[in-house]
Amino acid sequence: MIDCHVHIWPHGSGTSFPVEKTLEKYCEQAAAVGIEELAITEHLFRFVQAIPLLERAWTAEEPSPLLEDMHTYWRTHATADLDAYVTAVEMAKARGMPVLLGLEVDYYPALMDAVGELLSGYPFDVLLGSVHWLGSWRFDDLDSKLSMDVWDHVQLDEAYERYVAAVEELASSHVCDVLAHLDLIKVTARVPEDLSWVHNRLADAAFMNGMTVEVSSAGWRKPIAEQYPCSSLLELLAEKGVPVTTASDAHDPSVVGHGFDKLFRLLEGAGYTHENTFRRRSPLAVPLEAASLEKR
Structural domain includes residue 268? yes
Reported as half-sphere exposure (CB side, CA atoms, 13 A), residue 65 has a value of: 6
The per-residue pLDDT for range 186-198, each reduced to its tens digit, is 999 999 999 999 9
Q: Look at residue 14 in the predicted model and tell me its pLDDT.
A: 67
- Examine the pLDDT at 29 and tell me if it is beyond 50: yes
User: Measured between alpha carbons, how far is 160 from 15 in angstroms, rounded to an integer?
Assistant: 33
- Examine the pLDDT at 295 and tell me if it is beyond 70: no
Average pLDDT, the chain: 93
Q: How many domains does the chain have?
A: 1
- CA-CA-CA-CA dihedral for 210, 118, 279, 259, to nearest 10: -70
The per-residue pLDDT for range 49-66, each reduced to its tens digit, is 999 988 888 888 899 999
- Examine the pLDDT at 109 and tell me if it is beyond 50: yes
The pLDDT confidence band at residue 213, using thresholds 50, 70 and 90, is very high
Structural domain includes residue 107? yes
Structural domain includes residue 294? no
- Examine the pLDDT at 168 and tell me if it is beyond 90: yes
Across the range 89-93, mean pLDDT stands at 94
Structural domain includes residue 293? no
Structural domain includes residue 292? no
User: Measured between alpha carbons, how far is 125 from 40 in angstroms, rounded to an integer?
Assistant: 10
User: Measured between alpha carbons, how far is 50 from 118 in angstroms, rounded to an integer?
Assistant: 8
- C-beta of residue 203 within 8 angstroms of C-beta of residue 167: no
- Examine the pLDDT at 20 and tell me if it is beyond 90: no
Structural domain includes residue 217? yes
- Examine the pLDDT at 90 and tell me if it is beyond 50: yes
- Examine the pLDDT at 292 and tell me if it is beyond 60: no
Structural domain includes residue 118? yes
Q: Look at residue 13 in the predicted model and tell me its pLDDT.
A: 67
Query: CATH number, domain at 31?
Result: 3.20.20.140
Q: Which residues, at least 6 apart from 234, have a Cβ–Cβ distance to it below 8 Å? A: 215, 244, 266, 267, 270
The boundaries of the domain holding residue 26 are 2-287
Q: The pTM is what?
A: 0.94
Structural domain includes residue 74? yes
User: Measured between alpha carbons, how far is 150 from 43 in angstroms, rounded to an integer?
Assistant: 24
